[in-house]
Structure 1
Amino acid sequence: MVVIRLSRGGSKARPFFNIVVSDKRNRRDGRFIERIGFYNPIATAAEESIRIAQDRLTYWVGVGAQASPTVERLIKQAGKKAAA
């Protein structure tokens, strides 16, 4: 199964996450199919905290990829931010 999930990057105590499309059997930070965005939980007000390529997200959901619960929450958060 193909999933849309977070892949952790950054250094100790400074997390940075890539939003990736991956096979469920691969490790969290392992091989992925495509990077469709990022999430920076410690971004300041002047920095961009989340970016998702909506066209690629729509494509992958259309072909059957399932988003993790955290990514679902981030998608809703990004949608609210875009509407505001």
Structure 2
Amino acid sequence: MVLVGQVGPVPELNTAPLVRGNRRIAGSLIGGIAETQEMLAFCASKDVLPEVEMIRMDEINEAYDRMERSDVHYRFFIDMASLGTSVAG
């Protein structure tokens, strides 16, 4: 298991399953480019998609308030079409 980012305090850890199963835990504050690409390739091959909540640009203040109240279940994704202008690619 690789933990990417801080997960907060962890309750007491029983290491017996780790030792007996020849498993390990590693951690990084950020994943490197190679690890990120590997994870994206794995997700694409397994059709694993992120769970997001799409919001319009005019809902951004409400989204921020919800974040402050810890009322967010998924990552917010801003629908750029709601800006009313086309984005050149």
Q: TM-score, normalised by structure 1?
A: 0.27
Q: Determine which structure has the larger helix proportion and give its number.
A: 2
Higher relative contact order (CA 8 A, sep 6+): 1
Q: Determine which structure has the larger strand proportion and give its number.
A: 1
Q: TM-score, normalised by structure 2?
A: 0.25
